[in-house]
Amino acid sequence: MYLLTIDVGNTHIKMNLLSDEDKEIAGFRLTTRTPRTSDEFGLSIREFLNANNLTREDVKDVIISSVVPKVMYSLTSSIVKYLGKEPIIIGPGIKTGISIRTDNPREVGADRIVDCAAAFYTYHRSCIIVDFGTATTFDYVSAEGVFQYTVIAPGLETSATALTSQTAKLPEIEIRKPESILVKNTIAGMQAGVVYGYIGLVEYIIRRMKRELQDEDAMVIATGGLGRVIAEETSLIDIYEPDLAGKGMAIIYQRNKEKASA
C-alpha cells in the first residue's frame, strides 16, 4: 500500500507515491496553470497509477499541500471520485509538529510548513530551508521546531522572465551558468547575470540570516526544481533535497495517524 502525496505549487502539481518506508516509488508532474475538471485530474491520476502497474486499491491514503486554492475543489473531488479517499489537506487543525510564531501564522503557505517539518524531523537541528520555486523562500526553523523568520525573493525563473519581458530586444534564455562570468554575447551575458547574480543573492541572504540569528551552525537545505542549479555552485548550501515537500507530507501524515489512533 502506498501514500499519494500531492504538492500543488504555483507552477507545477507534483504527485509522488511513497512506500511504507517513505521511499519514493514514482513521481508525476502536471502544470498548475492549466484549468482541469475533476474528471481530468482523476484520469491523470489513474494513468499515473496504471503506468506503475498499480490500481486505486494500492493507494492507502492521499495528503495534499497546496498554495493554489482555485484548483482544490476539482482536485479533491477527483480523489474522492477516482480513488475513493477523502484526502488529508495541510491546513488548520492538522498536526504538523512545527510551532509557527510569525506575525500572522495563517498567511504561511502549506508548502513552507511541510518543508520545515521535513527538515526538522529529518535532521533534528536548526535549519534554513531555501525553496527555489516561483518565489524563493528562506525559512528558519529552530532546534526546538519553531518557525519564526522568513525571507522571500523573486524566483530564479521569475527573475529571468522579468528581464526578458521588460526589455524590447533581450531574448528568452535557458537558465544555465556560463563557465565564466566574462562572456562576449548577449545571451551568455544574460545567463551570467541571472545565475551568478542569483548565487550572490542566495549567499548574502544565508550569511545575513545566520549572523542575525546568531546561529552559524544552522543546516542549509535547498529544494525546488531550480534548486540544484544554485546548490551545486555554493558551499553555503549543505544539501539539496529535491522532494523535501513529499517527505514533509509523509511525516505529517504519520503524526496525524498516530494522533487519530491514540
Q: Looking at the annotation, which residues are catalytic?
A: 111
d(CA 231, CA 197): 14
Are β-strands 2-8 and 12-18 bridged in parallel, bridged antiparallel, or unpaired?
antiparallel
Residue 129 is placed in which grid cell? 530551508
Strand partners, 138: 130, 151
| Buried-state track 126-160, b at ≥16 Cβ within 10 A, e below 16 | bbbbbbbbbebbbbbbbeebbbebeeebebbbbbb
d(CA 187, CA 167): 13
Are β-strands 127-132 and 219-223 bridged in parallel, bridged antiparallel, or unpaired?
parallel
Three-state secondary structure call for residue 238: coil
d(CA 252, CA 159): 33
DSSP 247: H
| Buried-state track 71-97, b at ≥16 Cβ within 10 A, e below 16 | beebbbebbeebbebebbbbeeebebb
Q: How far is CA 67 from the centre of its chain?
A: 10
Three-state secondary structure call for residue 34: coil
